[in-house]
């Protein structure tokens, strides 16, 4: 599983880079706007935290392929390692073909159907980002859409990877993992929930209590080995 964090919040990114096997950070215009700083500052700061090897995804906003391509070129000039997110509109699909010809890395986003995903993969997208919770909100089975996309990728032997997005709970993440999604991007609050279990916490507390009772408070393996 390739884990990414869906945020532009620097504290959350720092924390996740420190704790988790994080492969990258994804943003979208809403996520960027929440920070209320310039895009330049935000992208620079995120890159500084995640380093060159982790992925950084940033989305274009234009409504025509030509403008999207110009935006993508500007983003790539600013950060040569950036991955360009493009919505799966007809103009977006055209833009993906042009960006692919330019050698850019592309994430197709705002995917709500398997056919949008298939078209984006054929247009050159490396990642396909279906919106799981937004589909669940309208009773359209977000996880089964992801399962259909992973099946299409296998059937057509495509190199594109699912980057499942828009999660509101751990069950959704679990379902897309079972469906074979190659990657997920998760907001910080849900990401932390992936590890949460009261029995894990009480289990660890019990180990510490039993240990301290014999070897003394605060003693580690290093003190007694
Ligand atoms: O990356 C796409 C994702 O941010 C959408 O999530 O929570 O706004 O549905 P959400």
Please identify every residue annotated as catalytic: 85
How far CA 180 is from CA of 58, 147, 174, in Å, comes to 25, 7, 10
Q: Hey, whose CA ends up nearest to atom 1 of ligand 1?
A: 165
The rounded distance, in Å, linking the Cα atoms of 205 and 224 is 19
Which residue minimizes the CA distance to atom 10 of ligand 1?
A: 166
User: Is the C-beta atom of 166 inside 6 A of ligand 1?
Assistant: yes
- Tell me if 136 CB under 6 Å of ligand 1: no
Arithmetic mean of pLDDT, 3-20: 98
pLDDT interval class at 187 (50, 70, 90): very high
Question: What's the pLDDT band for 189 if we cut at 50, 70, 90?
Answer: very high
Please name the residue that has the structure tokens 């190659």. Answer: 182
Tens digit of each residue's pLDDT (9 = 90 or more) over 128-177: 999 999 999 999 999 999 999 999 999 999 999 999 999 999 999 999 99
Distance CA 148, CA 154 (A): 10
Q: What is the mean pLDDT of residues 61-80?
A: 98
Please state the pTM of the whole predicted model. 0.96
By most ligand atoms within 8 Å of CB, the mutation choice from 137, 166, 191 for ligand 1 is 166
pLDDT tens-digit readout, 94-132 = 999 999 999 999 999 999 999 999 999 999 999 999 999
The residue to mutate among 134, 184, 191, having the most atoms of ligand 1 within 8 angstroms of its beta carbon, is 134
Q: Evaluate whether 21 touches 48 at the Cβ level (below 8 Å).
A: no
Measuring from atom 7 of ligand 1, which residue has the nearest CA? Answer: 166
- What is the model's pLDDT at position 78? 98
Nearest protein Cα to ligand 1, atom 9: 166
Query: Ligand 1 centroid to 158 CA: how many Å?
Result: 25
Q: Given this model, what pLDDT does residue 21 score?
A: 98
For 38, which DSSP code?
-
Q: What is the DSSP letter of 24?
A: E
Q: Secondary structure of 113-179 in the HEC alphabet?
A: CHHHHHHHHHCCCCEEEEEHHHHHHCCCCHHHHHHHHHHHHHHCCCCCEEEEECCCCHHHHHHHHHC
Pairs from 166-172 (Cβ < 8 Å, separation ≥ 24): 166/130, 166/131, 166/132, 166/133, 166/134, 166/135, 166/142, 167/132, 167/133, 168/133, 168/136, 169/193, 170/194, 170/196, 172/132, 172/133, 172/136, 172/142, 172/143
């Amino acid at each position: 599983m390739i884990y990414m964090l869906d945020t532009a919040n620097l504290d959350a990114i720092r924390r996740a880079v420190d704790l988790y096997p994080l492969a990258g950070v994804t943003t979208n215009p809403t996520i960027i706007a929440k920070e209320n700083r310039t895009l330049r500052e935000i992208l620079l700061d995120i890159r500084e935290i995640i380093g060159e090897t982790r992925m950084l995804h940033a989305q274009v906003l234009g409504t025509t392929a030509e403008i999207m391509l110009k935006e993508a070129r500007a983003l790539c000039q600013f950060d040569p390692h950036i991955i360009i997110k493009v919505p799966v509109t007809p103009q977006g699909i055209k833009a993906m073909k042009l960006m692919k010809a330019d050698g850019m890395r592309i994430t197709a986003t705002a995917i709500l159907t398997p056919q949008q995903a298939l078209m984006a993969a054929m247009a050159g997208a490396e990642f396909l980002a279906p919106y799981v919770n937004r589909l669940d909100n309208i009773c359209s089975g977000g996880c089964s859409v992801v399962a259909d996309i992973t099946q299409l990728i296998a059937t057509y032997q495509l190199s594109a990877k699912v980057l499942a997005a828009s999660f509101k709970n751990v069950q959704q993440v679990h379902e897309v993992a079972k469906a074979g999604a190659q990657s997920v991007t998760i907001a910080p609050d849900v990401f932390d929930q992936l590890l949460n279990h009261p029995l894990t916490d009480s289990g660890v507390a019990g180990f510490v209590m039993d240990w301290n009772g014999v070897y003394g408070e605060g003693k580690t393996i290093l003190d007694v080995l």
